[in-house]
Amino acid sequence: MNPGFLRRRVRAPGLGFVRAAVFAFFLFIVAAGSSGIPIPLVRGQGRGGFTRPRSGTALIITGAAARIPQEAALIEELDSRGWLSDLVFVSGVSSGALNAVALNGILSGRMTWDRYRSILFSIGPQDIYLRNGRTLPVNTEPLRALFRKVVDEELGFRTIGDLPIPTAITITRKPALGSKAEAVRLCSRPINPESDPGIDLVDILCATTAIPLIFPPRRIPGARTIPDVEYVDGGASEDYIPFRALIEFEKYRGRGVDRVLIVSRKYDPQADLSEELGMLGVDDHRIFDRLGLSFDRLADRKFRSSLWDFMRTYPETAERALVWRPDFPETYLMLDFHSMEAQYRRTVAWAKDRKPIPVKEFLGDASRFKFALRQALP
């Protein structure tokens, strides 16, 4: 569901824009791919176990940008099959956080799936951003207004603490040049020192959906538990798959969950960055495509690497995890807000005769070999 690490706005077309965009894109990938540091084990992970038996299901939702209907379709299917009847925790980043909030509304009876679909299907680019000529970042005040209308006014979720299901949303502290992106996990329950149930939920959603470079970074005004600095997309940190919030929840709760469902969107490996920029009115003269740069190819690598991090650092919880990620021939751009209904219906058709699969099965033996080789290299 934002290489916005540049302070100055970037103008296009022209060589200056291309250089700046390449640099920003590189910074984004470096920041999003820097989670290979081992994490200390917490109680219940590989040593002794929890004293109370595991129970309940946790749902983890990755970012998707305009592919948010794909994840929404999978989550609705899980709900219709009864897989969410014992849901005890939800974690989301970027547009995955939007699906997490919507699910809170649906399971608490404040919204129906029909209503949520109608909102998604009616969304167009004009509801997300306004172009600043050929300048990045775009103006995302329309998106903020949409959040306020649906989340605050319709659902009645003014603060993150209003969410009835324990829910964590990751935002990323905008890094200084050369520094590592820092994940900040905000939860509706006090699972860590950063979590404050009184933080405005719309502010959090604006921050976690601030795609670097493309959308402007956001501050969280009035927050007492985190610094008053700029924040960007939650997936631009080590929380590409936000499983660490689940581990913090398990520790806070004093017992582990019995099942983890990881929901994501389809990944398209072909070069697409030039086309994505074109949707924002930016013409890079197809330089990125000629270089073979694909956001999704790098994102898929990050997705798989994050799964391996999960298995390596928290094996007792990871072995209970299942992955559901659609795979069909049709392709949809990350910023294509014209195809919301088509994406939803295509994903529903794909999911009809399928179900989530274990993490190890998803990764497969070949991926395991590549991961082990990469970890062994200096």
The DSSP result for 31-66, as a single string, is HHT---S-----TTSSSS--SSPP-SEEEEE---GG
Query: What sign does the CA torsion over 227, 231, 234, 238 have?
Result: negative
325 versus 279: the higher-pLDDT residue is 325
- How far apart CA 111 and CA 202 sit, in angstroms, is 18
Residue with the two structure tokens 């197809």: 286
On whether the CB atoms of residues 213 and 24 are closer than 8 A, the answer is yes
**Is 70 exceeded by the pLDDT of residue 276?**
no
**Is 60 exceeded by the pLDDT of residue 39?**
no
Residue 298 banded pLDDT, cuts 50, 70, 90: confident
Query: Across residues 88-98, what is the average pLDDT?
Result: 97
51 versus 68: the higher-pLDDT residue is 68
User: Residue 358 CB: number of other CB atoms within 10 A?
Assistant: 13
- How far apart CA 213 and CA 222 sit, in angstroms, is 25
Q: Which two tokens stand for residue 318?
A: 């990871």
Interacting residues of 288 by C-beta distance below 8 A, sequence separation 6+ = 21, 22, 271, 273, 274, 277
Q: In angstroms, how far apart are the furthest CA atoms of the chain?
A: 62
Residue 207 banded pLDDT, cuts 50, 70, 90: very high
Query: Across residues 57-76, what is the average pLDDT?
Result: 96
Residue 296 banded pLDDT, cuts 50, 70, 90: confident
Determine the pLDDT at residue 146: 97
**Antiparallel, parallel or unpaired: β 321-324 and 357-358:** antiparallel
**Is 80 exceeded by the pLDDT of residue 66?**
yes
Q: Collect contacts of 280-286 with beta carbons under 8 A, ≥24 apart.
A: 280/131, 280/136, 280/138, 280/214, 280/335, 281/131, 281/133, 281/134, 282/12, 282/13, 282/17, 282/134, 282/136, 283/12, 283/13, 283/134, 284/12, 284/13, 284/17, 284/18, 284/21, 285/13, 285/18
Query: Across residues 53-72, what is the average pLDDT?
Result: 96
Determine the pLDDT at residue 103: 98
Angle separating helix axes 113-122 and 68-80, nearest 10 degrees: 170
- How far apart CA 272 and CA 252 sit, in angstroms, is 42
SS3 87: strand
15 versus 97: the higher-pLDDT residue is 97
- Phi/psi at 52 (nearest 5 deg)? -100, 145
Taking phi over 0 as left and psi of -120 to 50 as alpha, with beta for the rest, 364 belongs to left
378 versus 37: the higher-pLDDT residue is 378
SS3 5: coil
**Is 80 exceeded by the pLDDT of residue 214?**
yes
Among 78-82, 109-113, 289-293, 349-353, the minimum mean pLDDT is found in 289-293
**Is 60 exceeded by the pLDDT of residue 159?**
yes
Residue 133 banded pLDDT, cuts 50, 70, 90: confident
Determine the pLDDT at residue 38: 37
On whether the CB atoms of residues 10 and 20 are closer than 8 A, the answer is yes
Residue with the two structure tokens 């009115």: 281
Share above pLDDT 90 across residues of the chain, in percent, rounded to a whole number: 66
Task: Round the average pLDDT of the chain to a whole number and report it.
Answer: 83
Determine the pLDDT at residue 297: 81
Residue 333 banded pLDDT, cuts 50, 70, 90: confident
